[in-house]
């Protein structure tokens, strides 16, 4: 009998051990730091660090990275190539600039083979590539065009993925256009052209599986959407024209593998719209952040998880908010430095297991890990 009891106790302990192990496997990270709607439990970044203020970029493009080197534009008006070799703590001008000052260099992104791509315009639409970390540049694509730039506030327009696929979303004389490379930017082809009405491209996000971009209204004022484009895979399609009642819409986001746009009309707070302008959800942010000008960046992290960078009406406070329940509620997870007039022209991208943030007319670069 004693032996049977001992065996039973050992079996019970083993069962408890298995159950505990299973619990540890599913609950990774701190309590509440997971997307509980996904299979198992995936930890999400919640700790905010401001890495750089003032001497950091105004623009950072989504790009493939397996190291701590990042590429960005210091000032979109002069097209300065800017790089960091320590994960965004300090930044310096590239050894040689890809474009002349004032020519309209737009975006820079690292490719999976270690090269860096620069897109913009001197007199024509030009794409240049460097294989020596910005010491020298080679022109890999030229197209005669009256304009080849996104315009508006700095945003995400150039993307390179680990597959070697790169895309550049731009504007030519009021019409959106896509340029594509399948070999890490060595060669490019001009892709789909829109039907017009895209005064300037006000922002874009694309992750290889889905994408969205929106243009300002036809008079280039106020930031109201004229129309949007959406991508399924790397195929972009032109959507219907919006009626402008949605308000300021400078915040695109790929959320749950679908392109969305975040807008604020100044009276009803933030709203999330489909590319067709159909309302998806109303967002309620506490405190004075209901006055968000919708120019803050946003990014989807996993199923039903979205981050938004918001600021108060005076632009003196910049905060990060996260929703883990499909936009039902948002929780503030921390504050950021910089700002000036708020997070205009900001971007968010995922790299090295963290989310990186560029935002502010007073530039700020930070991360969430």
Asked if residue 115 belongs to a domain, the reply is yes
- Contact criterion met (CB below 8 Å) for 180 and 161: no
Please provide the distance, in angstroms rounded to a whole number, between the alpha carbons at the two ends of the chain: 55
Asked if residue 12 belongs to a domain, the reply is no
Each residue's pLDDT tens digit, 319-363: 888 888 888 888 888 888 765 555 566 788 887 778 888 876 677
CA-CA distance, 95 to 93, in Å (whole number)? 6
Asked if residue 24 belongs to a domain, the reply is no
280 alpha-carbon distance from chain centroid: 20
Check residue 289 and give its pLDDT.
53
Check residue 135 and give its pLDDT.
94
State the virtual CA torsion across 57, 62, 66, 72 in degrees, nearest 10: -20
Closest among 229, 234, 268, 232 to 248, alpha carbons compared: 268
Asked if residue 164 belongs to a domain, the reply is yes
Check residue 133 and give its pLDDT.
92
Check residue 222 and give its pLDDT.
53
Asked if residue 21 belongs to a domain, the reply is no
Check residue 201 and give its pLDDT.
73
Closest among 309, 272, 151, 143 to 217, alpha carbons compared: 151
Asked if residue 16 belongs to a domain, the reply is no
Mean pLDDT of 253-275: 84
Highest mean pLDDT among 155-169, 176-190, 202-216, 234-248: 176-190
Check residue 146 and give its pLDDT.
59
Mean pLDDT of 250-275: 83
Does position 53 have pLDDT exceeding 50, yes or no?
yes
Closest among 341, 306, 339 to 324, alpha carbons compared: 306
Does position 291 have pLDDT exceeding 70, yes or no?
no
Does position 34 have pLDDT exceeding 80, yes or no?
no
Q: For residue 55, what is the domain's CATH number?
A: 2.130.10.10
CB atoms within 10 A of CB 12: 10
Question: Which whole-number Å values give the CA distances from 288 to 121, 247, 314, 316, in the listed order?
Answer: 40, 18, 9, 11
Q: How confident is the model at residue 8 (pLDDT cuts 50, 70, 90)?
A: very low
Structural domain range at position 71: 45-368
Range of weakest confidence among 28-32, 43-47, 136-140: 28-32
Asked if residue 38 belongs to a domain, the reply is no
Q: In which order are the strands placed within the sheet that holds 125-130?
A: 107-110, 116-121, 125-130, 138-143
Does position 180 have pLDDT exceeding 60, yes or no?
yes
CB atoms within 10 A of CB 30: 10
- Where is pLDDT greater, at 181 or 42? 181
Check residue 20 and give its pLDDT.
29
Each residue's pLDDT tens digit, 107-127: 888 999 999 998 877 667 889
Question: Which whole-number Å values give the CA distances from 66 to 166, 176, 210, 266, in the listed order?
Answer: 16, 31, 22, 41
Asked if residue 34 belongs to a domain, the reply is no
Mean pLDDT of 236-247: 79
Does position 60 have pLDDT exceeding 80, yes or no?
no
Q: What is the mean pLDDT of the chain?
A: 74
Does position 2 have pLDDT exceeding 50, yes or no?
no
- The structural domain count of the chain equals 1
Q: How confident is the model at residue 129 (pLDDT cuts 50, 70, 90)?
A: very high
- Contact criterion met (CB below 8 Å) for 213 and 199: no
Each residue's pLDDT tens digit, 292-327: 555 678 888 878 889 988 776 565 667 888 888 888
């Amino acid at each position: 009998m004693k032996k049977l009891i001992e065996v039973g106790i050992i079996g019970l302990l083993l069962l408890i051990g298995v159950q505990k192990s299973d619990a540890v496997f599913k609950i990774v990270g701190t309590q509440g730091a997971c997307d509980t709607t996904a299979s198992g439990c995936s930890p999400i970044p919640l700790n905010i660090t401001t890495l750089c203020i003032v001497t950091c970029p105004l623009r950072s493009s989504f790009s493939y990275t397996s190291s701590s080197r990042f590429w960005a534009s210091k000032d979109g008006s002069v097209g300065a190539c800017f790089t960091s070799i320590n994960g965004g703590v300090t930044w310096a001008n590239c050894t040689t600039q890809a474009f002349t000052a004032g020519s309209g260099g737009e975006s820079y992104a690292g490719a999976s083979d270690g090269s860096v791509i620069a897109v913009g315009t001197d007199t024509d639409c030009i794409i240049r590539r460097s294989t020596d970390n910005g010491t020298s540049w080679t022109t890999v694509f030229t197209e005669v065009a009256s304009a080849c730039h996104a315009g508006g506030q700095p945003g995400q327009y150039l993307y390179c993925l680990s597959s070697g696929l790169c895309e550049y979303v731009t504007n030519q004389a009021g019409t959106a256009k896509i340029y594509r490379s399948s070999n890490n930017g060595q060669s490019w082809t001009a892709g789909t052209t829109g039907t017009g009405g895209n005064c300037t491209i006000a922002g874009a996000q694309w992750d290889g599986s889905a994408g969205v971009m929106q243009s300002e209204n036809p008079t280039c004022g106020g930031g109201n959407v004229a129309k949007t484009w959406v991508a399924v895979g790397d195929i972009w399609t032109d959507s219907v024209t919006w009626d402008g009642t949605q308000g300021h819409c400078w915040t695109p986001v790929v959320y749950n593998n679908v392109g969305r746009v975040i807008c604020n009309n100044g009276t009803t707070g933030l709203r999330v719209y489909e590319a067709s302008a159909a309302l998806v959800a109303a967002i309620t942010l506490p405190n004075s952040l209901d006055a968000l000008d919708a120019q803050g960046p946003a990014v989807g992290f996993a199923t039903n998880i979205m981050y938004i960078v918001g600021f108060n009406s005076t632009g003196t406070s910049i905060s990060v908010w996260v929703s883990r329940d499909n936009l039902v509620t948002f929780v503030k997870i921390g504050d950021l430095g910089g700002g000036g007039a708020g997070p205009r022209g900001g971007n968010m991208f995922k790299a090295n297991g963290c989310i990186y943030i560029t935002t502010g007319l007073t530039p700020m670069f930070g991360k969430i890990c």
